[in-house]
Amino acid sequence: MTRQRVIVVGGGPGGLATALRLLGQGYTVELLEAADRVGGRMRGLQAGDYAFDSGPTILQMPQLYDALFASAGLNRADYITFTPLEPYTRLRFWDDTPLDLTTDLDHVKHQLAAWRDDLPQALDRWYAEHQHKFATGYGPYLSEPARSPLGYLRPQEITTALSFRPWETLYQHFWNAFHDDRLVYALSYPAKYLGMHPTLSASVFSLIPYLEMAFGVWHPQGGFRALAQAIAQAIQDLGGKIHVSTPVRQVWIEQGQVRGVELDTGERMAADAVVVNADFAQAVQTLMPPAAQGKYTDRYFARKQFSCSTFMLYLGVNRRYDHLPHHQLYLSDHILRRDRPFVDDSALDTVNPPFYVCNPTPVDGSNAPAGHSTLYVLVPIPHTGYSVNWQTQAQSYRDLIINRLPLLGFDDVAQHIVAETCYTADTWQDEYAVYLGAVFNLSHTWQQLGPLRPPIRSETTERLYWVGGAVHPGSGLMTILEAAKNTARFVSQDLSQLVQTH
Ligand SMILES: Cc1cc2nc3c(=O)[nH]c(=O)nc-3n(C[C@H](O)[C@H](O)[C@H](O)COP(=O)(O)OP(=O)(O)OC[C@H]3O[C@@H](n4cnc5c(N)ncnc54)[C@H](O)[C@@H]3O)c2cc1C
Contact, 68 vs 20, CB < 8 A? yes
In whole angstroms, how far apart are CA 490 and each of 13, 255, 494? 18, 20, 6
* CA 12 to centroid of ligand 1, rounded, Å: 5
439 lines ligand 1 (CB under 6 A): yes
* Cα–Cα distance for residue pair 31/50, rounded to 1 Å: 28
* Cα–Cα distance for residue pair 23/38, rounded to 1 Å: 17
* CA 425 to centroid of ligand 1, rounded, Å: 14
Closest CA to 427 of 309, 281, 344, 348: 309
**What average pLDDT does the chain have?**
94
pLDDT given for residue 201 in this prediction: 85
In whole angstroms, how far apart are CA 54 and each of 42, 129, 482? 5, 35, 22
Please determine, for residue 311, whether its predicted confidence score (pLDDT) is greater than 90: yes
> pLDDT (tens digit, 9 = 90+) per residue, 241-273?
999 999 999 999 999 999 999 999 999 999 999
* Cα–Cα distance for residue pair 255/179, rounded to 1 Å: 58
475 lines ligand 1 (CB under 6 A): yes
> pLDDT (tens digit, 9 = 90+) per residue, 412-462?
999 999 999 999 999 999 999 999 999 999 988 888 888 889 999 999 999
pLDDT given for residue 475 in this prediction: 87
> pLDDT (tens digit, 9 = 90+) per residue, 76-111?
999 999 999 999 999 999 999 999 999 999 999 999
Please determine, for residue 52, whether its predicted confidence score (pLDDT) is greater than 80: yes
pLDDT given for residue 2 in this prediction: 66
| pLDDT band at residue 151 using 50, 70 and 90 as cut-offs | low
By percentage, how much of the chain surpasses pLDDT 70? 96
Q: What is the mean pLDDT of residues 464-468?
A: 98
Q: What angle do CA 468, 57, 141 make, to 5 degrees?
A: 45
Count of Cβ atoms closer than 10 Å to residue 480 Cβ = 30
Backbone angles phi, psi at 248, to 5 degrees: -90, 135
pLDDT given for residue 241 in this prediction: 98
* CA 182 to centroid of ligand 1, rounded, Å: 31
Residue 154, Ramachandran bin (φ over 0: left; ψ between -120 and 50: alpha; else beta): beta
User: Looking at ligand 1, which atom is closest to the CA of residue 480?
Assistant: 25
In whole angstroms, how far apart are CA 442 and each of 381, 436, 437, 450, 471? 15, 10, 11, 12, 9
What is 286-341 written as a DSSP string? HTS-GGG-TT-SHHHHHTS-B--EEEEEEEEESS--TTS-SEEEEE-GGGG--STT
- Minimal-distance CA residue to ligand 1 atom 12: 476
220 lines ligand 1 (CB under 6 A): no
Q: Which of 148-157, 181-190, 216-225 has the lowest mean pLDDT?
A: 148-157
Q: What angle do CA 149, 150, 152 make, to 5 degrees?
A: 75
Rounded (10°) angle between helices 13-24 and 477-501:
40
By percentage, how much of the chain surpasses pLDDT 90? 82
Please determine, for residue 166, whether its predicted confidence score (pLDDT) is greater than 60: yes
The domains found in the chain, sorted by start residue, are 5-81+222-302+442-501 (3.50.50.60), 106-214 (no CATH), 304-436 (no CATH)
CA atoms within 13 A on the CB side of 476: 22
Helices vs. strands in the chain: H and E counts, helices first? 15, 20
Please determine, for residue 44, whether its predicted confidence score (pLDDT) is greater than 90: yes
Q: What residues have CB less than 8 Å from 302, skipping those under 6 apart?
A: none
Please determine, for residue 36, whether its predicted confidence score (pLDDT) is greater than 90: yes
11 lines ligand 1 (CB under 6 A): yes
Closest CA to 494 of 4, 3, 1, 2: 4
Q: What is the mean pLDDT of residues 116-143?
A: 91
Chain-centroid distance, C-alpha 333: 25
In whole angstroms, how far apart are CA 497 and each of 2, 257, 421, 463, 500? 16, 14, 50, 11, 5
Rounded (10°) angle between helices 119-137 and 155-163:
150
Q: What angle do CA 180, 182, 187 make, to 5 degrees?
A: 100
User: Looking at ligand 1, which atom is closest to the CA of residue 428?
Assistant: 53
User: Looking at ligand 1, which atom is closest to the CA of residue 16?
Assistant: 25
pLDDT given for residue 337 in this prediction: 86
Give the residue, 227 or 2, on which the prediction is more confident. 227
Please determine, for residue 1, whether its predicted confidence score (pLDDT) is greater than 60: no
* Cα–Cα distance for residue pair 39/453, rounded to 1 Å: 24
261 CB burial (10 A radius; 0-12, 13-18, 19+)? buried
31 lines ligand 1 (CB under 6 A): no
* Cα–Cα distance for residue pair 455/490, rounded to 1 Å: 11
* CA 249 to centroid of ligand 1, rounded, Å: 19
Closest CA to 475 of 451, 453, 452: 453
Please determine, for residue 191, whether its predicted confidence score (pLDDT) is greater than 90: no
| pLDDT band at residue 150 using 50, 70 and 90 as cut-offs | low
* CA 13 to centroid of ligand 1, rounded, Å: 7
Ligand 1 mutation target, pool 8, 30, 41, most atoms within 8 A of CB: 41
* CA 34 to centroid of ligand 1, rounded, Å: 13
Q: What is the mean pLDDT of residues 169-181?
A: 95
| pLDDT band at residue 149 using 50, 70 and 90 as cut-offs | low
One-letter amino acid at 45 equals: L
309 lines ligand 1 (CB under 6 A): no
In whole angstroms, how far apart are CA 338 and each of 59, 197, 200, 388? 30, 9, 10, 21
Q: What angle do CA 443, 38, 216 make, to 5 degrees?
A: 60
Q: What is the mean pLDDT of residues 342-354?
A: 91
pLDDT given for residue 152 in this prediction: 65
Closest CA to 380 of 288, 470, 311, 284: 311
Residue 474, Ramachandran bin (φ over 0: left; ψ between -120 and 50: alpha; else beta): left
Rounded (10°) angle between helices 224-237 and 62-71:
10
Q: Cα-Cα-Cα-Cα dihedral of 55, 60, 64, 68, to 10°?
A: 20
Global confidence as pTM: 0.96
473 lines ligand 1 (CB under 6 A): no
Please determine, for residue 219, whether its predicted confidence score (pLDDT) is greater than 90: yes
Beta-strand pair 28-32/241-243: parallel
Q: What angle do CA 352, 356, 361 make, to 5 degrees?
A: 140
In whole angstroms, how far apart are CA 21 and each of 16, 39, 67, 70, 95? 9, 16, 10, 9, 47
